[in-house]
Amino acid sequence: SQQGEEDPQALSIQEGENATMNCSYKTSINNLQWYRQNSGRGLVHLILIRSNEREKHSGRLRVTLDTSKKSSSLLITASRAADTASYFCATDEETSGSRLTFGEGTQLTVNP
């Protein structure tokens, strides 16, 4: 079953704009991760945020986590055409035994 639900399903922006994607989940988690998948490729790990963290940065990426609302957001600043990809959140549920459960993803298109 899918734990995370991403919103929006698809997002189209211009280069230089910021992109925000949201993820909601249902059960208590140990951590939440974001992955990127370019068309026809495997997934690439972007960032991990632990359940006791509220915000984390990595380069142009900013992730927030609100455990009271069971939601997370991924912000990509100053987007580039190369950021065009699908973005997935993945949660490690407290009862899952370190199994990651992925959402259905947000398809981001950055137009040059």
Partner 1 sequence: EAGVAQSPRYKIIEKRQSVAFWCNPISGHATLYWYQQILGQGPKLLIQFQNNGVVDDSQLPKDRFSAERLKGVDSTLKIQPAKLEDSAVYLCASSREWSSYNEQFFGPGTRLTVL
CB of 51 to partner 1, least distance (A): 11
* Number of shown-chain residues binding partner 1 (CB under 8 A): 25
CB of 99 to partner 1, least distance (A): 6
103 binds partner 1 (CB under 8 A): yes
Question: How many whole angstroms separate alpha carbon 4 and alpha carbon 76?
Answer: 19
Helix (H, G, I), strand (E, B) or coil at 36: strand
111 binds partner 1 (CB under 8 A): no
β-bridge mates for residue 110, sequence order:
13
CB of 96 to partner 1, least distance (A): 8
Residue 91 · residue 24 · CB < 8 Å: no
Question: How many whole angstroms separate alpha carbon 17 and alpha carbon 25?
Answer: 27
Instruction: List the structure tokens of 95.
Output: 């009862």
The footprint of partner 1 on residues 9-68 (CB under 8 A) is: 30-31, 33, 40-45, 48, 50
CB of 56 to partner 1, least distance (A): 13
β-bridge mates for residue 36, sequence order:
44, 87
Which residues contact partner 1 by CB under 8 A? 2, 4, 30-31, 33, 40-45, 48, 50, 88, 90, 92, 97-105
